[in-house]
Amino acid sequence: MASHLLIPFISTPVETIAPTVSRLQSTFTSLKTHPLAYREEQLRKLYWGIKDNEHQLVQALKADLGKPYFEAMISEIDWIGAEILYVLKNLRKWAADDKVDLPFLHRLVLSPRIRKEPMGTVLVIGAFNYPAQLALVPLIGAIAAGNTAVVKPSEQAPNSAAIIARILEGALDPEAYAVVNGGIPESTELLNQKFDKICYTGNAAVGRIVATAAAKHLTPVLLELGGLNPCIITKSADAKLAAKRIAWGKVHNLGQICIGPNYVIIHPSLEAEFVGAFIQTLKKFFPEGASKSPDLARVINKRHYHRITELLNNTKGTILYGGERDESRLFIEPTLVKIASPEDSLLSEEIFGPLLPMLIVEDLDSMISVARKIGDCPLALYIFSAKREEEEKILKNIRSGGATVNDVLFHAAIPSIPFGGVGESGTGSYRGKASFDAFVHRRPVVNQPSWMEGQLRVCFARTLSFSFLV
């Protein structure tokens, strides 16, 4: 979509990356980022930096992804703002030492506690689909936890990346935080450096590159990946409601969402009602036709346009609605396709676009086994059912990063619960307290008073060690 640049996208010179990381490491060692007051000040500056540049950020998101104003606000700008306010409200509570459960006497003598120590200098690599949110929300956790940090926004969204650099460089302490812009050469050079934690959001192939590079330095990783997220609509479900909610989740950001509904498995008795309601909902959303709507995003670039249209060209399924495309405007219409087999091209990879394949499956056990065959451990799982026992059975038998019942996307919209994948869809989680926890080391500390020497000699080996367990 980024056919024009609002402000120049300047790649960071590769030779400056190592010295930048080294500068940030020195700042960390100086303890400058440790005081809570410093972290709070940086978070407040970030909040106002985003507010002051809100208009430019909206324009950049529009230029990169055709992101409509409403979506830019709720899923990027207000989302980030709400995250900062939530973290500011809770930071002192989270940062306080955790008390340790020990018998009273030991607690009194040893003062055992768990300190929340910053990890050091961390790297945040963002993805293109939510270019601001995915670069900045992990950064908020890194700042809150007292780290210094490098942020690498996605070069696939160059306008947003350029504005993010401008915001961060204008708002934050340059001794502690830096933006590196660029593509593979810059990312590769970053990954040559030794960081204390890496948070990467993007596809699993690059996730493996990141994890391999991190392993050389024994650097822990937080990997936010993707997957083929199923929507399972059982016989007991409200098909109309499912259709309406899945349609909404599918058109959001034109389906370019890691937790977007990827495909539908539905009981045959609900097929007609679901299809009718899905089409009716899309017509209601876009009365003049989706291609004319200013409220629908566009595909990020030609590469992804061709990737998605290839999936559609190769399907053996039947298009029930949609199918219109226009390469010059990177437009693909929200499209419902009835497919006959889990081997169909539309289920060969994460669609990450506005196509919705639908498979008809007779009973719940088969629905579960088909979904498991299509993709193990997706990032999200959507269950549409009126029966608690069906919900429970699906949750138990299909692993996923998160799940929403009788709706889509919602489990990721709550700042107070962790967001992350499992297995192929990622490792670790963040958001709110989980972000703080992701970027601290929980360091146990005990004080052994010198006057304990005599007592220790007598009883340490037996009484004391066993009594810890009581």
Binding site for ligand NAD (CB under 6 A): 125-129, 134, 152, 154-156, 183-184, 187-188, 191, 201-203, 206, 209-210, 224-226, 258, 350, 352, 379, 421, 426
Judged by beta carbon, residue 262 or residue 385, the one nearer ligand NAD is: 262
CB of 401 to ligand NAD, least distance (A): 7
Two structure tokens written together for 195: 């960081």
Minimal CB distance to ligand NAD: which residue?
226
8 A C-beta contact, residue 380 and residue 229: yes
CA atoms within 13 A on the CB side of 403: 20
- Least distance to ligand NAD, CB of residue 206, Å: 4
Q: Catalytic: 41?
A: no
The nearest distance, CB 193 to ligand NAD, in angstroms, is 12
Sign of CA dihedral 81, 202, 197, 380: positive
Q: 129: which strand partners?
A: none
Residue 255 beta carbon to ligand NAD: minimum distance, rounded to whole angstroms = 11
User: How many helices and strands in the chain, by DSSP H and E?
Assistant: 18, 20
Q: Which of 71, 76, 189, 224 is catalytic?
A: 224
Distances (CA, A) of 224 to 169, 292, 427: 25, 33, 7
Choice between 228 and 364, CB closer to ligand NAD: 228
Place of tokens 């050091």: 120
Pick the closer one to ligand NAD by CB: 59 or 133. 133
Shortest Å distance, C-beta 191 to ligand NAD: 6
Written as six digits, the tokens of 223 are: 């990997």
Tokens of 372: 């498991």
Judged by beta carbon, residue 139 or residue 379, the one nearer ligand NAD is 379
Question: One of 199, 258, 391, 424 is an active-site residue; which one?
Answer: 258
**Taking a C-beta distance cutoff of 8 angstroms, is the pair 380, 401 a contact?**
yes
Q: For 307-377, where are the E strands, in sequence order?
A: 318-321, 325-326, 331-332, 335-339, 355-360
Nearer to ligand NAD, 144 or 198 (CB): 198
| CB-CB neighbours of 388 under 10 Å | 9
Residue 238 Cβ, how far from ligand NAD at the closest point, in Å? 28
Annotation says 54 is catalytic: no
Q: How far apart are the first and last CA of the chain?
A: 62
Nearer to ligand NAD, 68 or 421 (CB): 421
The DSSP element (H or E) to which 404 belongs, if any, is strand 402-405
- All residues at 6 or more sequence positions from 458 whose CB lies less than 8 Å from its CB, including other chains: none
Residues marked active site are found at 224, 258
